[in-house]
Structure formats: C-alpha cells, structure tokens
Amino acid sequence: MKTEIAVIDEKNIDMSKVKKAAAIIRRGGVVAFPTETVYGLGANAFDEEAVKKIFIAKGRPQDNPLIVHIQSVDELENLVYDISDVAKKLMNKFFPGPITIILNKKESIPDVTSAGLKTIGIRMPKNKIALALIKESGVPIAAPSANISGRPSPTDVERCIEDLEGRVEGILGGPCSEIGVESTIVDCTVEPPCVLRPGGITLEQLREVDIDIYMDKAIMQKPSKDLKPKAPGMKYRHYAPKAPLKIIEGNVEQTVAKINEMLQNYIDDNKKVGILACDETKSRYKDGIVLSLGSLDNMQEIASNLFEALRHLDDLDVDIILSESFEERGIGVAIMNRLRKAAGFNIVRV
C-alpha cells in the first residue's frame, strides 16, 4: 500500500494537507496523526471495516478496545450516555488534554471499536493538528497509539513512518509529542471512579477534582491470576524494546553502584549494554551506552524522552538495557508504569 506522508507545522497548519488526511478517514482509510501524548493511528470510529484496518496494521489483539477521539463535547450526545457528575467535572477541567474518560457507549459505536465492551474511552486531544483532523473528518476518530503492537509508542513522525509506512493510507506528521506517555484513563462508569492507566494527567491533579478517585491496584504490579488489570490493554507486554530491559530500583547511590556492578559482568561477557539514566547520574557509569532521559528536576522531560530512548537503544542493537527507576509521584507514576511493563516486570531491587 502506498502511504501518503505529509508533515505540517502545528503553529501554522496547512489545511490542504489536513483535508487530504480527513478525506482518507472519510473514505474508510487509516491515518497516523500527532497528539500531545503519543502519535495515534486513526479511523472513523463508526466504520467497522475502517476500524478493523487499524487492528490489522498494528497487529493488535482483537480484545483490546480503542479510544474515541473528539474535538467538541457536542459529539458526546451521539456516543455515550450516563455522564456522571465526576465525568463532567473531569472533562470540564482537562478537555482538551491527556485524559481519557470511560463511559457507557451508545449503539452508534460498533463492537469492533470497543472490542465488544459496553463502555468506550473518550478523549479530546490538545494537539491542534489532531483537533483539525477530527473536525475536517466530520466523525469521531478511533485511535490507539501508532506503533506496531507491543513496541514503544511513537512520539515523532519518523517513528510512525518506521512502523507503519506501507501498512496505512496516510501519515500526518507534526511536532514531537510533548507529554510523551499516553493519556490517563479514568473509568467513570464505576463509583468511585477508577484510574485504569496512569498518564499525562497525574493522580494529584485528578484528586483536585474528586478526592475519591483511586487507582486500579493491578497497574503497578505484575499481573497474575488474582490481579488482572481492568483495561484490557494493560495485560499485554507493551512498550517493549527488542533487548531485554531490567529496572534497578533503590535509592540513587545503591542504583548507580548496582548498575555498575551488573554492567561489568555483561561487559565481561562481551555484551553491548544500554543504560537509561538521568542528567544527575549519567557521568557515573564506567562503560556502556548511557542515555540520559533528562533531569530529575523535570520529570515531564523524562516522560517525553522515555519511548524514544527505548527505540534508540533498539537502533543501536544493544543486548541488554539497564534502567534506573524514578520516584512514583506526579508523572513519575506513568513513567514507572511504562518502564515496568516494558521490562515485563523484570525488576532488580537493591
């Protein structure tokens, strides 16, 4: 399949390119597009055949529901019912932005979009190209992250091209995703509302709206028979680089010492080692390919560099990746959730 690729400036949007991409969506095609969290891979949420193409292009399991992206709250009427007061407050405060609200879906949304669930995730992205694309398409856009299933989500257009060229009708490029981890998912069909995936909006921010909001216990731990995450997608190994990833969890001093010790053993075995570090520690490793995710003073920067760093280490063909861990506060919760899942919960505690 020939993929139409167009890159545009979010501050000076070339509407002719957006219109071309919207035409692809309207005629049942699939288009990758930028959002502030990660790039999405979109199709008309109402069009069963179009949505099926997303699953095929990504190699996504059929039981993993998609998020429906809107550009105006007026669209909700046609999509969902029973919008609770908390849901309304969350939308008021955080739309457009990195949050997805799970609500009861109307018949208008086909089962393939919601993977057979009676509920659907609704998100209004902040990125202006995404909003323009949804508006021009004239339909809500169902979109997962624009990666091949299991891989780290793409945060720039080059990574979308790498994963999807030849597999989708269009790729619309824009800026790098500034948040860098996916939206926070809040299930508002249950009382109290439950966070199914930590993301761009922090738990602290959510609790400013409703202190009762809690987090699904299965999110930060290895899923087991008794502990199954409520978001179907959270049960799969995800965000994973090709090389095995180990997370070293402990205080900074212990972590640096442990990574140096492990590093030496791998180097002695002739292994190429990648290290995910931060500005504060990057000079303390004696060998290996050290990537800093940013400064601990700016956790948002660390989040925005995470997926790209994992992909970069893949490009460098490392045999093993050792990662530092980050404080589980604010956006740090989402960072540690993605890291642990990427590592398949391979954690070394020191």
Q: Which residues bind Mg ion (CB under 5 A)?
A: 145
Using CB under 6 A as the binding rule, whether residue 29 contacts ligand TXA is answered as: no
DSSP string, 202-220: -HHHHHHH-TT-EE-GGGS
Comparing CB distances to ligand TXA, the nearer of 131 and 259 is 131
Using CB under 6 A as the binding rule, whether residue 163 contacts ligand TXA is answered as: no
Which of Mg ion, ligand TXA, none is residue 42 near (CB under 5 to 8 Å by kind)? none
Which of Mg ion, ligand TXA, none is residue 35 near (CB under 5 to 8 Å by kind)? ligand TXA
Which of Mg ion, ligand TXA, none is residue 67 near (CB under 5 to 8 Å by kind)? ligand TXA
Using CB under 6 A as the binding rule, whether residue 102 contacts ligand TXA is answered as: yes
Using CB under 6 A as the binding rule, whether residue 67 contacts ligand TXA is answered as: yes
Asked whether residue 69 is marked as a ligand-binding residue, the answer is: yes
Which of Mg ion, ligand TXA, none is residue 232 near (CB under 5 to 8 Å by kind)? ligand TXA
Question: 131, 26, 31, 143: which is closest to 71 by C-alpha?
Answer: 131
Residue 323 · residue 339 · CB < 8 Å: yes
Question: CA torsion angle for 64, 67, 68, 71 (degrees, to 10)?
Answer: -170
Residue type present at position 337: N
CA–CA separation, 7 and 18 (whole Å): 10
Asked whether residue 16 is marked as a ligand-binding residue, the answer is: no
Residue 294 · residue 278 · CB < 8 Å: yes
Question: CA torsion angle for 35, 38, 44, 48 (degrees, to 10)?
Answer: -170
* Contacting residue, 66, 168, 262, 303, with ligand TXA by CB under 6 A: 66
Which of Mg ion, ligand TXA, none is residue 102 near (CB under 5 to 8 Å by kind)? ligand TXA
CA–CA separation, 275 and 315 (whole Å): 14
Alpha carbon 166 to its chain centroid, in Å, reads 22
The pair of structure tokens assigned to 129 is 């190209």
Using CB under 6 A as the binding rule, whether residue 53 contacts ligand TXA is answered as: no
Phi, psi for 71 (deg, rounded to 5) = -120, -5
Binding site for ligand TXA (CB under 6 A): 35, 37-38, 40, 64-67, 100, 102, 114, 117, 119-121, 123, 125, 143-145, 182-183, 185, 196-197, 231-234
Binding-site residues? 37, 60, 64, 69, 119, 123, 143, 145, 153, 183, 197, 239
